[in-house]
Structures are given as C-alpha cells and as structure tokens.
C-alpha cells in the first residue's frame, strides 16, 4: 500500500512540473504525484531528470539498460515498469531484458553493479567504458545510475504503485 498517496491530478502544480513538461499537459503519473508533495524539490529534481531522460548524451538503448539494471537490483517495480516501456522504444528487446534480470556479464550490467555496490568503477570496467564512451557520456552514465538509484529509493520507500498500462502504447 502506498505510504504517501500521489497528489490528486486536479491539484497538480503545473509550474513545478515545467522543467519536465515545458508547459505541456501531461497525463497522471504516480511519480509526479509523489514529487508534487514538495513542489520545490519537484522543480529541482525534474530539471535534472529532464536532462537524464531527454538530453542525455548516452545512446538511448544503453541509458535504458543502465536504468533497468538499477531498477532490477533495487527491486523497484515502478521504475522497472516505466523503463521497460521506454526501453522498448529505444530498441531494448526481450533478450536484453533477460540479460538485465540475470545479471549477464555485459559492460552495462558490470558498470551498474560496481557503481551500486561500491560507488566507483574498477580500473578495468572504467577503461572498457572509456573506450566506448566519450567524457560527457561517461559523466552521463555515472549520474544516470546514481540518480535512478536515488529515485528507486524514494519510489520504494513511499511504495509508489506502477502507473496503469497505457492503452495506446503511450509515453510511459
């Protein structure tokens, strides 16, 4: 059961959501409803989150695989459900999801696991990532893993339920 029910949609603070929405109307979302209990926090976090999701320099599929690995490790149902949908649009296939779930020895899984376990990357994993990514992408990778870990902690702590599945394959 949700510990902190989402702010009802009709009470949403559009200004607090502006960093994410750009003023567009967005459908109800349990994570946004949670954040709107604290509009200043919502505004700040969503500014950062908008970068990670929309302006991230990582290849989209890699970003989503990293987020999914964080969600799987942290047992975050909300994050997993949302990012399976987003990931599929970025080219994540069922085989990729199985590798995330089983912790297959992929570079992304290894890097996420190291960051989640010890808050750093081993020299070998860092060298391998540095061959695949430029400096901006390395920063985006580490900050994506950290931010989605923090979000998973909040979603799990407040027992935020996954949003209902979109009828039209919507934005997730």
Residue 22's pLDDT is what?
87
Stated pTM of the model: 0.92
Q: Tens digits of per-residue pLDDT, 96-143?
A: 999 999 999 999 999 999 999 999 999 999 999 999 999 999 999 999
C-alpha 172/C-alpha 163 separation (Å) is: 8
**Residues in the chain, pLDDT under 50:** 168-172
> What DSSP assignment string belongs to the chain?
--SSPPPPGGG--HHHHHHHHTT------HHHHHHTTSHHHHHHHHHHHHIIIII--S-HHHHHHHHHHHHHHTT-HHHHHHHHHHHHHTT--HHHHHHHHHT-S-HHHHHHHHHHHHSS--HHHHHHHHHHS-HHHHHHHHHHHHHHHHHHHHHHHTTPPPPPPPTT----
CB proximity list for 82: less than 8 A, separation 6 or greater: 31, 162, 163, 172
**Domains, in order of start, for the chain:** 8-55 (no CATH), 57-165 (1.20.1290.10)
Residue 8's pLDDT is what?
95
Residue 166's pLDDT is what?
67
- Give the position of tokens 């070998």: 124
Residue 170's pLDDT is what?
41
Residue 164's pLDDT is what?
87
């Amino acid at each position: 059961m949700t510990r902190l029910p989402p702010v009802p949609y009709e009470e949403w603070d559009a200004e607090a959501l502006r960093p994410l929405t750009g003023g567009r109307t967005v459908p109800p979302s349990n994570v946004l409803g949670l954040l709107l209990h604290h509009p200043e926090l919502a505004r700040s976090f969503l500014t950062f989150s908008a970068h990670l999701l929309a302006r991230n320099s990582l290849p989209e599929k890699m970003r989503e695989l990293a987020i999914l690995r964080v969600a799987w490790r942290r047992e975050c149902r909300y994050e997993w459900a949302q990012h399976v949908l987003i990931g599929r649009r970025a080219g994540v296939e069922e085989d990729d999801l199985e590798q995330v779930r089983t912790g297959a020895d992929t570079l992304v899984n290894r890097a996420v696991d190291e960051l989640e376990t010890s808050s750093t990357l081993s020299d070998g994993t860092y060298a391998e990532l540095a061959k695949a990514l430029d400096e901006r992408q390395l920063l985006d990778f580490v900050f994506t893993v950290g931010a989605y870990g923090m979000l998973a902690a909040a979603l799990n702590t407040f027992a935020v339920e996954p949003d209902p599945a979109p009828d039209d394959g919507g934005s997730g």
